[in-house]
Chain A
């Protein structure tokens, strides 16, 4: 266990649904990240939060909406997704921003029908 939990572990949703992914870290870290991992592609950084402030948004479509209510929790709200959004969504945290070692959650396997 890395100290980072994600729920749900698996999610199947239709293109018109609204759902949320949740991430929680128990490590007292200041930075949290959302990544998307698709088959045969490098890990894609989506969003970065530091001390609950969003510091990076990597040109992610607006159908993905992050929320960081406190330094331990991170959400990814999903709405009107496309089938190509099907992927493993990984949450990570680190003590401080950017280049520090990151601790990953187990991921949410998302399938969009």
Chain B
């Protein structure tokens, strides 16, 4: 079964608004990563949060991790049209020995 699952599947907002994406997973993890993918391109690593961390910031990105709920959220503040992309979470589930990606959230930021 799928390890990471993003919610919502698609999100449409205006420039300047905040965008929040959620990721749920099923088994214990060592860390969780968020990646971004522009249409038809490769994935770009955004941020990694370890299982003993609760929150992490990088520029306009804020990631939270709640291991008791097996969930993470990615917040993009003051969004820009250039943030339009698909966003994926990836978990390294202990015992799986590989990164497992979710199906992603498609974010559209309109000018």
Contacts and interface: CB of A to CB of B under 8 A. Distances in A.
A107 B99 contact: no
Interface in B55-111: 88, 92, 97-104
B68 to A, nearest CB: 21
Contact of B98 (A6, A45, A105): A45
Contact of B44 (A2, A56, A109): A2
Interface residues of B, number: 23
Contacts of B44: 2, 104
A61 interface: no
A90 interface: yes
Given A41-B103, A43-B88, A109-B40, A101 B48 contact: yes
18 contacts: A6-B42, A41-B103, A42-B4, A42-B101, A43-B43, A48-B98, A92-B43, A99-B92, A101-B45, A102-B99, A103-B45, A104-B43, A104-B44, A105-B42, A106-B42, A107-B40, A107-B42, A109-B40
Interface of B: 2, 4, 30-31, 33, 35, 40-45, 48, 88, 92, 97-104
What are the nearest 7 A-B pairs in CB distance?
Answer: A104-B42, A99-B92, A43-B101, A104-B43, A106-B42, A101-B45, A42-B103
Given A90-B43, A101-B45, 16 more contacts: A4-B42, A41-B103, A45-B99, A45-B100, A88-B40, A92-B43, A98-B92, A98-B97, A98-B99, A101-B33, A101-B48, A104-B35, A104-B44, A105-B42, A106-B41, A107-B40
